[in-house]
Structure 1
Amino acid sequence: MTTRTLYLLCSAAPPVFEVAGVVEEAQRRGWDVCLGLTPTAAEWLEDSLPGLAALTGHPVRTRYKRPGQPDVWPPADAVLVAPATTNTVNRWALGITDTWVVGFVAEGIGKQIPMAVMPCVNEAYARHPQLPLSLEALRASGVRVLYGPEGFEPNPSGEKRPYPWSVALDAVDGFGR
């Protein structure tokens, strides 16, 4: 079996603290995992970054590389953006590429890299009128959106439910097979 490369790109939402177990599960499924984090997610996981780099065998990416620097990751066969905050989803859909994670996936649409996104938002954020527009823009761009009954369903504010990581991994497992 040929190993495929999964870029797991995470925003700062509580399920990001489970990322080591998600990496291990993706590896059991045959993925070579490269982990990218938004700046706030990287801050939240600051003490874990060396261990996460050792677990994946790749540096954890949090920012753009300088022009001319070599890429430190193999090319992606698939991308999973999860957990994806309202901020990440909206910036991606609108093409606001001020962070490496959002810049990579915005460009990934044009490169036609197979991508899935699973938001992690509470009901209050879900009611904002931009979120459904952004999710539809991503769907129309070919991104597999795992939201609602087929993925993540918003929590009431202040309530936490288990994040359906297996749904997200199942979605990327299906790419290209």
Structure 2
Amino acid sequence: MTETGSAIAIGPRIVAAGGFDALYREGMTLIEDVASYLDADGRADSRVLSREASFLYATESMRLTTRLMQLASWLLLQRAVNEGEITKENARSEKEKVKFSATPSERGGPGYEQLPEALRSYIDKGDRLFDRVMQFDTLERGKMAVVDAGTANGIADQLARLKAAFGRP
């Protein structure tokens, strides 16, 4: 709390402390790796698939590239904010236009196991990156992030304990 009694948003401070740089590097590396795979080994992998698996390969590779381009957009906007090229408000407005698709809950289904291991691995990495970006975005916006499904992060847990200790609802 500040002297005026208002809470200090720690999320933007964590974002500004350099956690973004690692996320950015990981995201851009993943994008390059996936592009290389789909352009070379992925083509060869897809040629030996059954007709049904080939259709699923095309669908999942399209979902993955779409998701990664959406993540790249988010990462580039955040980097522009961090470097002072655009304001947080402008970035927030642009980020609202980025609609993420193909959430992890929509993964799998018949034939998914027939996809090449490399593609499934890249899909998993993309989903994990998506989760981290969403947590980071929540922190950047100054909100409490959820670490695991339904489990509040350590800060929220500590705040709840303090409220309970001092009798505040």
Please tell me the TM-score bracket, short chain as reference: under 0.3
Higher helix fraction (1 or 2): 2
- With CA pairs under 8 Å and 6+ residues apart, which has the higher RCO, 1 or 2? 2
Question: Looking at CA atoms only, which structure, 1 or 2, has the larger radius of gyration?
Answer: 2
Q: Which has the higher strand share?
A: 1
Q: Normalized against structure 1, the TM-score is what? A: 0.23
TM-score by length of 2: 0.23
